[in-house]
Structure 1
């Protein structure tokens, strides 16, 4: 059976030090903490990405997000493009503040599918594990995760990892793939130079498809470029589609002309705007009402303004 890329992205979520990055490594063999600062401090700072091969040989994308409350911008940036989520809770600590905050964010983003992974089961006894499972049930009650599969694992011993893969397989079967039609739209979450090739941008494609040779625009600046090459999970492809993690090399576009939060779009279709209508929903724990003309931060796509 040959491996087959499918257009689906699953994101992690959960409190700092609950083992999200270790779990992704146990599932994929890839360490998403690539920065020296992440290695030094032992925490995830930027988004990480890895292909996950399911038992059926289908390949999906995993996004590893930071759990620290100071890096909530990066977490939202990664979560905004996911089709489903794997909420991670450590067996030795249970539900913590960022566990709740991340679940609130996912609910606001309209995510509809997910599972819960209880990590570090090798550090606790069965009684403690049962208490954490009960804690998870209380947390998820009334949310899209109510009644979802809960799998206990150890990224150190490998216990439960195969069961988690099977649970992710069943999760993927429940999620409707993104529509590949329409004009290409991809918020940028990374941009970097590659010697001899030019500027490379990466992101999760929200709409449409893209192929080498096509003209694109980068918004809000409106700068135009041509796609030199396209990759999915590090492999050069003839085209990439909505729901996939995409990297593309752009001709005649300098790194200083691109900002985190910009959007790569099909040429001649979209326009930038400085005015939009929104509906604000205050979460239950917000201590005070929203005031007229109060300043708010807007997270949209991968931008934070």
Structure 2
């Protein structure tokens, strides 16, 4: 195209008023630099700030304001924005994952149902029915599996949910920010499922639900300990306040205050009760620094303070800093598999999981494993789905479902990983960890030969302590031990956090300091 082509094309469209369009577009992004710098423009606290830098490729593009662009510059910017959106097939989202914790009958599923469907509960659990996956969950009213639901917000801070949209795809298309609720089980019978969901799904934040009539119970303390051990920031929602007096609610807050200050020996949190919009803005600002724990009091029946909770979720800033997000995108691919599906139509294996680092693109090849012999098999990602919608790319921190070619579904299992071929992955049977014994209900010390179930991100397997620095480990003490997996080798990385338990009781936590790669015998 010659340099004069744009002029001739412009001559053929004299009715196209670029100056008028420029005024409209500029008004969307704020005043130009020519205006009075001393003029204070009021800003809503619900406007998102602190976005990460644009990568050179992919579907991320944003402009704060346009400063007197000429007609051709404006047309170029519009074309650039459209190209970016086409890269993500229309996706332009800002996402936060929230794990929902709390004891049984604290109203976790009902609260998520009210937030995502814009319909109050009838006091008998109607709001939670949309979240249940199994018949026995409907019959008992208790969650036993891991359920995902989404809540969207547009650029005006308005909630976009199933009350105004019929599908998840429609919610994503109309939203600029997505909250993904990870609803976890509260009954002690399913404690291992709850721990797996919190560790494997890598939530940004945890919402701890407390039943106002029952106050703080042992399961509440256990779930709070999980989140703190895995370094997940926690905010608290006191539910069912319509069933309690103000005195009872204040007593529950007092119990929570003690839990926040003494529930985790390594750090303390300061409770911050949110009562109005001014409080929630302050809470969101300080929450990222992990110095406080916001507390909300809500009712799913009357709807009291539900809007306040939604506004808090809307202004909740990202957990990762800009540098962290940029660093993760440049690392090799590490995709943790936490779900296996069957695609009967194509015969391909379909997996679900969370991308911890790197970028996954449709059509590219990776390694999946470890298999039973400790090896990794090359596979090709044929399709990518997020929120039940086809996508082309997955970024670090995002959950997605992948269709894999060249491997049968029977060879896949939870706990596997999808990694870059250049990372030269190696499986291990043994690893060294520094552990801390947080509780031991029998008051019996741990010795060499102790067998326990370890949870390392998406890995859950029985392991044996084969070496210890001390003869025995007592409660509130720490030591360095060597674990050996009992059944199969796993893909473990140094620096990963671990928790270990016996039955439904959590014994302690720690961090992996050394991995000893070796193949299965």
TM-score (norm 1): 0.91
Aligned-pair CA distance for 1:165: 1.5
2:364 matches 1:214: yes
Contact 1:7/1:241 (CA < 8 Å) preserved in 2?
no
The equivalent of 2:313 in structure 1 is 168
Q: Distance in 1 between matches of 2:96 and 2:330?
A: 15
Aligned-pair CA distance for 1:146: 3.3
> Given the superposition, is the C-alpha separation of residues 3 and 140 from structure 1 closer, same or farther in structure 2, using an over 3 Å criterion?
farther
2:452 matches 1:296: yes
Q: Distance in 1 between matches of 2:184 and 2:140?
A: 16
- Deviations along 1:257-296, one digit per CA (max 9) or x if unpaired, are 1112222223342221112121111115652322122112
Paired residues for 1:78-117 under 5 Å: 78-80=197-199, 81-111=202-232, 113-117=233-237
The equivalent of 1:189 in structure 2 is 338
RMSD: 2.3
- Deviations along 1:20-57, one digit per CA (max 9) or x if unpaired, are 11111122238332222322332111111122224374
**Given the alignment, which residue of 138, 154, 166 partners 2:258?**
138
2:174 matches 1:47: no
> Given the superposition, is the C-alpha separation of residues 164 and 285 from structure 1 closer, same or farther in structure 2, using an over 3 Å criterion?
farther
TM-score (norm 2): 0.55
**Given the alignment, which residue of 294, 306, 322 partners 1:149?**
294
The equivalent of 1:72 in structure 2 is 191
Question: Which consecutive residues of structure 1, in runs of 5 or more, have no partner in the other structure?
Answer: none
The equivalent of 1:24 in structure 2 is 112
- Deviations along 1:92-124, one digit per CA (max 9) or x if unpaired, are 11111111111111122122x221111112222
Aligned-pair CA distance for 1:159: 1.9
Q: Distance in 2 between matches of 1:248 and 1:264?
A: 10
The equivalent of 1:128 in structure 2 is 248
Q: Distance in 1 between matches of 2:91 and 2:115?
A: 16
Contact 2:204/2:319 (CA < 8 Å) preserved in 1?
no
The equivalent of 2:172 in structure 1 is none
Q: Distance in 1 between matches of 2:361 and 2:269?
A: 36
The equivalent of 1:271 in structure 2 is 426
**Given the alignment, which residue of 191, 203, 224 partners 2:378?**
224
Contact 1:8/1:244 (CA < 8 Å) preserved in 2?
no
Q: Distance in 1 between matches of 2:345 and 2:268?
A: 46
Aligned-pair CA distance for 1:238: 1.5
> Given the superposition, is the C-alpha separation of residues 304 and 18 from structure 1 closer, same or farther in structure 2, using an over 3 Å criterion?
same
Question: Which consecutive residues of structure 2, in runs of 5 or more, have no partner in the other structure?
Answer: 1-27, 29-89, 118-127, 159-175, 272-292, 462-521
The equivalent of 1:61 in structure 2 is 180
Q: Distance in 1 between matches of 2:187 and 2:270?
A: 24
Q: Match of 2:438, SS?
A: coil
Q: Match of 2:436, SS?
A: coil
Contact 1:12/1:87 (CA < 8 Å) preserved in 2?
yes
Contact 1:8/1:243 (CA < 8 Å) preserved in 2?
no
| Structure with max Cα Rg | 2
Aligned-pair CA distance for 1:180: 2.5
Larger relative contact order (Cα-Cα within 8 Å, sequence gap ≥ 6): 1
Stretch moving more, 113-122 or 258-267: 258-267
- Deviations along 1:142-196, one digit per CA (max 9) or x if unpaired, are 5565331101112233221111112223433555374323122222221111232
2:401 matches 1:247: yes
**Given the alignment, which residue of 415, 418, 422 partners 1:261?**
415
Aligned-pair CA distance for 1:245: 1.8
Q: Distance in 1 between matches of 2:361 and 2:150?
A: 20
